[in-house]
Amino acid sequence: MFDNKEHTNIDQLGEFGLIAHLTKAVECTEKSTTKGIGDDAAVLDFSGDKTLVSTDLLLEGVHFDLRYVPFKHLGYKAVQVNLSDIYAMNGTASQVTFSIGLSSKFPLEAIEELYAGALLACKNYQVDLVGGDTSASAQGLVISVTSIGHAKAEDVVYRSGAKEGDLVCVSGDLGGAYVGLQLLEREKRIFLENPSIQPDLEGKDYIVERQLKPEARRDIIQLLASLGVKPTAMIDVSDGLASEILHICNASDTGCRLYEEKIPIDPMTYDTAREFALDPTVCALNGGEDYELLFTVSQSEYDKLSGQSDISIIGHITDKASGHELISKSGKVHPIKAQGWNAFGSKD
């Protein structure tokens, strides 16, 4: 989605010229960055901390649709969803690399917007962009982001540490990104049928932003540290609450019991889901792309967390034999099944 009428053909710059053009505004400020862009590899120094690394690949037509995703939002989201993985390990994100494969249909101005979004995410999260690559692509736009971070060995949190009796907590609210996607897809279909009709997104800013410009929850990691709370297990909610709690339980060899009435759902998400004849709880369980943090803590931490408005306690960890259960508002027991995003197109 790019409306600039003044287009510059990327062929005029060539690969090295494009890289030089896009990276001229990059400035490294993290003390752990010894050498950034400009050599064969970046040089980082974490002074004894454990190094955390995560990579995501985003493909046009699979992970994003340029008919309604602005390039600047896409660049921003591509970086922040990768940073979310570092925060999910209870770490500090400090560097990213940003690589793109693009076809000749994209003018320089579009790629500038994409890069501007990525750099804005880096600025907002105090992260250095230290490298990347560009390549021609025959399949539309491809984005690959690698995030790098660090943490003291004793602070790293894995998925595998949940224990029977631990409380299950989640930050923010869930389902908004999925419902926002349904709204954008509906407006796309209407536009394709009748291009004279403008998108109707009035009053839906929150859920549209949840889809187009989500924010990684670095603030929750900082909050937990200030409270003196270290989660026993943690994961970010990229594929839906159901998939993520099962990841924790499978890695920790436990079961779980969640309560539907405790799952945080924003009123706009709830009402819009109903407009689409969707169950808001199902959207929260299986929608994905919320990038909230799902984590477990010892019951002894309850008093520290119970008064935090941005953290909800939604259940507890059980023994493995008890299975994975959701208790509905009416008190019925339902098995939790992973039905969220699957990169190869089928449902789990």
Confidence of residue 126 (pLDDT cuts 50, 70, 90): very high
pLDDT value, residue 40: 63
Most confident range (mean pLDDT) of 57-71, 106-120, 213-227 is 213-227
Contacts with 345 (C-beta within 8 Å, 6 or more apart), sequence order = none
8 A C-beta contact, residue 1 and residue 70: yes
Kind and range of the H or E run holding 50? strand 50-59
Q: How far apart, in Å, are the Cα atoms of 284 and each of 52, 117, 157?
A: 28, 27, 24
Q: With contact defined as beta carbons under 8 Å apart, do 134 and 23 qualify?
A: no
- pLDDT of 344 reads 45
Tokens encoding 119: 């750099």
Give 11's pLDDT tier (boundaries 50, 70, 90): low
Q: Is the pLDDT of residue 267 over 90?
A: yes
Average pLDDT over residues 256-280: 97
Q: Are strands 311-318 and 142-151 parallel, antiparallel or unpaired?
A: unpaired
Vertex 164 angle, CA 158 and 168, to 5°: 65
pLDDT given at position 32: 78
pTM higher than the cut 0.85: yes
DSSP 198: P
